[in-house]
Chains A and B, each alone.
Chain A
Amino acid sequence: MHRKIEVSQAYGPVVEGEALVSEEGFSPRYDLDRWTGVITKPGHKLEGKSIVDKVCFFPTAKGGIAAGWAFYDIKWKKIAPKAFIFGVTNPVMVQGAIFAGIPITAGWSPQPRGVVKTGDLVRVDPARKTIEVLR
């Protein structure tokens, strides 16, 4: 079965990587340990999971202006994800990802649930505004 998600906004080069699918939103300030790339906020649905080199699916963006610098910081520390895939996002996530050169997309159809699960290999093609599940 060919599994594909279309996105409405996208930036960056084509990347492939392992999916990390979250049912909870994300902020690199509130949720992430920015020295290890592990989500450390107590009670976060991905608590204890690493975002390093993953294609991260988050339904929403939370809070924070600081993501702008934080994404550059984690990229510089080599603990950045391969891409951020948001359901709804905010300008900070986009400004931050573009500044850091991390692919980012927003708006998805259909929703990832039932299409992609954590551990799947996915290909993000921002120019074509698609995400394909490879296996």
Chain B
Amino acid sequence: MELTSEERAILAGERGEAERRALEYQVEVGRFWGAKRFVPVTSVHMMGDIEVMGDGGLGWLKETADRGARCRVATTTNARCVDFVHCERLGQDAGEVAKERELIATLKRMDVVTTDTCINYQTVYQPHLGEHVAWGDTGTVIYANSVFGARSNFESGPAALAAALTGRTPEYGFHLDQHRRGTFSVRLDARLEDLADWGAVGKLVGESHQDYFAVPVFHGFHRAPTADELKHLGAALASYGSMGMFHFVGVTPEAPSSLPAEKMLVGEKEIDSVYAGYSLGDGDGRLVVFSGPQQSLLEMKRLAGLFQGRKVQGSCFVTTNGAVLAQSRDLGYAQTLEQAGVTILQGVCFYILQNLSLMRERNRWTNMVSNSAKIVNIIGAHRFNTILRRTADCVEIACTGKLK
């Protein structure tokens, strides 16, 4: 890689050991991808919690903080694995909860802003066209690249933290024009009235094109999609297809004027086949989850409307961030949901909850029903049978405990 004099100085240790190690690591990653140089970043969003990092990761983080690591650019955190209000009732391990507190304190020592959200793009920071950032969770990256026209690769926790410490990231992948072009087109000839339908599109397109560098170009849709719809589409594309970018003709800023050669069609029949494809297992509908990504304020409003005057039979969880929850309380949505027996978790995502497998066993949960195609995909290692259903159907299942 071509390094600037500043970067050579960092590698020589002139800015301390933490930054030297961070840049050395970034050079290795850049080499693997054939990056020619580094690009400065303005915003970092990182994943870091005890469930994903484990004791080894926490130990590494503390050592890094002790070496004087400090963020050079604004750095926020992704959803984590403990809700400190509900952890006891959820049966989360007290020792792990204590470690999570220690981890958060360590991040704060490095000047990380612990927003604990996977919808930073809806609530914290909206980068502009062409802005280089270093983000992770995949859902945040695909939204940044596609909807804002900002530039980020999937940056895992260690890579994002390295970018935070050095203020730069290797220039490869979606930082480069050549990888941002559409590689196949998808005509949307379906109503797509529910958020789950958008996740279903992401599943169909992602599963059949699993490739980080595949960039679908959506076209032909009969109206303008909303931010929440694009969020569910992107989250599912990233989850099923490992994709980091899409275009949407007439909607996203870098959508091409001519379509790529390979063509795919998503119509009503294809969407129906997604819903028909799930095994209902033993028919148990005692666990319904609205999470992955966290709910926006408008999703909270819609759920409050659907749960108004109803009663949850089994367990129903909604996850969101602190900002959305505070506003949902001001507006009364949170109270409506809680009166219906919904548990609102803050700063977490359901699938990364510490102790989830044990929680599943203790509650004898077999199925997990959700309107999020992403969470339906990713919770598998915890041995749930998962079922995607439309939002109103999910509410009905939650209030009857029965899955049809």
Given contacts A69-B47, A69-B52, A72-B60, contact A64 B212 (CB under 8 A): no
Contacts of B220 in A (CB 8 A): none
Residue B53, interface by CB 8 Å? yes
Contacts of A41 in B (CB 8 A): 380-381
Given contacts A41-B380, A69-B54, contact A91 B212 (CB under 8 A): yes
Q: How large is the interface on A (under 10, 10 to 19, 20 to 34, 35 or more residues)?
A: 35 or more
Residue B95, interface by CB 8 Å? no
Residue B156, interface by CB 8 Å? yes
**A19 and B28 alpha carbons, distance in the complex (Å):** 25
B54 and A77: CB pair below 8 A?
A: yes
**A73 and B48 alpha carbons, distance in the complex (Å):** 12
**A32 and B60 alpha carbons, distance in the complex (Å):** 23
Given contacts A29-B378, A88-B211, A94-B29, contact A69 B157 (CB under 8 A): yes
Chain A residue nearest in CB terms to B135? A65
Chain A residue nearest in CB terms to B45? A65
Q: Per a CB cutoff under 8 Å, which of A9, A64, A72, A89 touches B57?
A: A72
**A56 and B9 alpha carbons, distance in the complex (Å):** 38
Q: Per a CB cutoff under 8 Å, which of A40, A64, A90 touches B378?
A: A64
Residue A6, interface by CB 8 Å? no
Contacts of A31 in B (CB 8 A): 380-381
**A29 and B56 alpha carbons, distance in the complex (Å):** 17
**A73 and B51 alpha carbons, distance in the complex (Å):** 10
Residue A4, interface by CB 8 Å? no
A76 and B380: CB pair below 8 A?
A: no
B377 and A30: CB pair below 8 A?
A: yes
Residue B158, interface by CB 8 Å? yes
A68 and B158: CB pair below 8 A?
A: yes
Q: Main secondary structure on chain B at its contact with chain A? A: helix
Q: How large is the interface on B (under 10, 10 to 19, 20 to 34, 35 or more residues)?
A: 35 or more
B29 and A69: CB pair below 8 A?
A: no
B157 and A91: CB pair below 8 A?
A: no
Residue A112, interface by CB 8 Å? no
Chain B residue nearest in CB terms to A64? B138
Contacts of B14 in A (CB 8 A): none
A65 and B385: CB pair below 8 A?
A: no
Cβ proximity bits B228-257 to A, threshold 8 Å, 1 near / 0 not: 000000000011101010000000000000
A99 and B158: CB pair below 8 A?
A: yes
The smallest C-beta distance from A58 to any residue of chain B, in angstroms, reads 11
Identify which of residues 76-120 in chain A touch chain B, using a CB-to-CB cut-off of 8 Å: 76-77, 88-92, 94-96, 98-99, 104, 106
Q: Per a CB cutoff under 8 Å, which of A9, A34, A65 touches B78?
A: A65
Chain B residue nearest in CB terms to A25? B210
**A75 and B57 alpha carbons, distance in the complex (Å):** 10
The smallest C-beta distance from A100 to any residue of chain B, in angstroms, reads 9
**A106 and B302 alpha carbons, distance in the complex (Å):** 44
The smallest C-beta distance from A88 to any residue of chain B, in angstroms, reads 5
Q: Per a CB cutoff under 8 Å, which of A30, A62, A73, A104 touches B210?
A: A62
B55 and A69: CB pair below 8 A?
A: no
3 A-B pairs with least C-beta separation? A68-B156, A76-B56, A73-B54
Residues of B at the A interface (CB closer than 8 Å) are: 25, 28-29, 31-34, 47-48, 52-57, 60, 78, 136-138, 153-159, 172-173, 210-213, 238-240, 242, 244, 352, 377-378, 380-381, 383, 385
**A–B complex contacts, Cβ < 8 Å, 26 sampled:** A9-B32, A11-B31, A29-B381, A30-B377, A32-B381, A43-B380, A60-B242, A62-B210, A64-B138, A65-B47, A65-B155, A67-B156, A68-B136, A69-B57, A77-B56, A88-B210, A91-B29, A91-B153, A91-B159, A91-B172, A92-B155, A92-B156, A96-B158, A98-B25, A99-B159, A106-B32
